[in-house]
Amino acid sequence: MATALQTSTVDLAARFPNKAAADTRPGFTGFIVNKENLIEVATAVRDEFGYDLLTAVTAVDYIAENKMEVVYHAYKTTGGPGLTFKVQAERVDPIEVPSLINIWAGADFQEREAWDLYGIKFTGHPDLRRILMWEGYEGHPLRKDWKEPFFEEEVKPFKSRWPEGKHTFAEQKNPYRDNLNFPKDFDPENFVVEKEEDLYASLERHTTKDIEGNMKTDHIVVNMGPHHPSTHGVLRVAVTLDGETIIGLKPVMGYLHRNHDKIGERNTYLQNIPYTDRLDYFNSMSNNFGYVTTVEKLMKIPVAERAEYIRVIMAELSRVQNHLIFIGMLMNDLGTMYTPSLYAFEERELILDIFEAVSGARMMCNYYRFGGVVRDIPDDVLQKIKDLVLERIPAKTDEMERFLNENEILVARLKGIHVLNAEDAIKFSVTGPVLRASGVPYDIRRADPYSIYDRFDFDVAVRHNGDMMDNYLIRFDEIRQSLRILEQAIKQMPQGPINSQKPAYQVRVPAGEAYGRIESPKGELGFYLVSNGKPNPYRYHVRPASFVNLTAVETMCKGAKIADFVALLAMLDIVMGELDR
């Protein structure tokens, strides 16, 4: 079995007897590390075994066993399979687990998320505030005993729908006829968000004196957003400024939070596919891809040959349009209002036409199924894909480069403005184009190939300066490589069935866990699933690229000018649907 082989390369249990043990639950892999020895083992995982990239940190609530488990997935930036290790803690508050922030700084936001949603205290975390819910919120919503407003039943399908289904408005069940479930004595009129001071206290501040040392300058705190046109959605950023220079910065998120994970645990496996569309809503095809590959891993089913090619074609088309939009929107953020972005939108619209023709929707595609895809590509659509991939998009990409690359104003805004160096990028678990633009040739399609990416001939786009110009140019490189993959995929695509399974609305998923990841246009998109053999996932976790990449934003922006902040943020290519989940 592939997963068993993967972990056998590193045996933590042999290296750390009595401190770590192999996870022997059926269907599970990796190692369970003693809580007391976590720091020691994790340091060895990074320094001795070379797993420098901690991609996913999440928790699982095993309420029946009265245990909380924190799951870590570490990878090597040189490629190859990953290492999974876990710690378990008794499920009695306060649940404490040592923080790994000093080993992998990328654990920062993910640990805060686990604290927020599971109530696990990461000791040693310097800024353990809530991250998706607001300060002052009570409870930890991903715990198995927490129930959301409008709660009906533990899992779907709800029994009330059939055969006695009388329609009731969900909102009528709520005393405020609103979307919220308030505590009994709650007065919405007089509610003030508590503990906002914590946020401001977490910002770095220091006083400076002028050269003679007699005039002190004060720092000011500026809140950008949540309603700010350049934050790409409802993201708020609290910044401390010294004049125009950023000296401290904290993103505040969660304005679009809907607890995607919890919804996913109530859903059946199939019902989750359209929900993943709503994560990164620019790339629903990639999201579907990540989710179905993970479930297929758990189910151990093959994918129909033709469907593999269709999947790759759709995912790469999605990457092309994502990067075009990235370029267009970056220009908007730099002040080139609308002309470049509308040029980009033209090509995107043509690609969305294809998505609509095959899947039925332009953005919420819901196209992938376990074992294949939902329907074949009609001949006329295949012709259109060929036309775009072979003729139009290469020409338009060239035009876009002619249009922008040498433009002096653009060059002045982008060149030499530092984003991230390789060391920091790895430390902060940054993945995707931003990591590659800082000189690390790490692309999951190559490093740990999934689907059929090992069959294609393409280069991993990489640039070495780590400045904004490289971050911008690498998108063009990636479009070109995607077009190469597309060309080969179209040529090699065989005839045949498009699904290896019979259509079934209830799938059987054996008990176990799986972490599946793909190279989404924005970075590593991972799904962590735990199945207990029932029709609904026991644990459904999304590891979104935007969210984890944002961990590095403070480091990226410190010392930069506030005017560049907007463009630096644009480099991360965040999408709030995915970031807030």
- Shorter beta-carbon distance to other proteins: residue 89 or 381: 381
416 vs 559, beta carbon nearer other proteins: 416
Q: How far is the CB of 148 from other proteins (least distance, A)?
A: 14
Retrieve residue 202's tokens.
């977490």
In the complex, minimum distance from the CB of residue 353 to other proteins, in angstroms, rounded to a whole number: 5
Nearest approach in angstroms of CB 44 to other proteins is: 43
Cβ at position 150, least distance to other proteins in Å: 11
Q: Which is nearer to other proteins, 275 or 528 (CB)?
A: 275
Residue 274 · residue 260 · CB < 8 Å: no
Identify which of residues 118 and 275 has a Cβ nearer to other proteins in the complex.
275
- Encode 413-468 in three state secondary structure: HHCCCECCCHHHHHHCCCCCHHHHHCCCCCCHHHHCCCCCHHHCCCCCCCCCCCEH
Number of Cβ within a 10 Å radius of residue 531: 23
Binding site for other proteins (CB under 8 A): 152, 156-158, 160-167, 169-170, 267-268, 270-275, 339, 343, 346, 349-350, 353, 356-361, 364, 366, 374-375, 381, 384, 387-388, 391-392, 399, 402-411, 503, 505
- What is the nearest approach in angstroms of other proteins to the Cβ of residue 160? 8
Least distance from other proteins to the Cβ atom of residue 314, Å: 14
Judged by beta carbon, residue 64 or residue 505, the one nearer other proteins is: 505
| H helical segments located in 372-418 | 379-386, 393-404, 408-414
d(CA 101, CA 126): 9
Give the integer Cα–Cα distance in Å for 569 and 231.
7
Q: Which is nearer to other proteins, 189 or 408 (CB)?
A: 408
Please say which residue, 17 or 169, places its beta carbon nearer to other proteins: 169
Residue pair 104/88 in contact by the 8 Å Cβ criterion = no
Least CB distance to other proteins at residue 82 (A): 30
The candidate with the shortest Cα–Cα distance to 354, out of 399, 327, 316, is: 316
Among candidate residues 490, 477, 517, 439, the one with its CA nearest the CA of residue 320: 477
Beta bridge partners of 541: 528
Smaller CB distance to other proteins: residue 219 or 348? 348
**Contact (Cβ atoms closer than 8 angstroms) between residue 479 and residue 397:** yes
Q: How far is the CB of 503 from other proteins (least distance, A)?
A: 7
What is the rounded distance in angstroms from the CA atom of residue 117 to the CA atom of residue 190? Answer: 26
Nearer to other proteins among residue 50 and residue 157 (C-beta): 157
- Residue 350 C-beta: closest distance to other proteins, Å: 7
Do 519 and 530 contact (CB within 8 A), yes or no? no
Nearer to other proteins, 191 or 338 (CB): 338
- Distance between CA atoms of residues 296 and 308, nearest Å: 13
Full DSSP string of 532-572: -SSSS-SEEEEE-HHHHHGGGHHHHHTTSBHHHHHHHHHHT
In the bound complex, what is the minimum distance in angstroms from residue 226's beta carbon to other proteins?
A: 25
Vertex 160 angle, CA 157 and 161, to 5°: 65
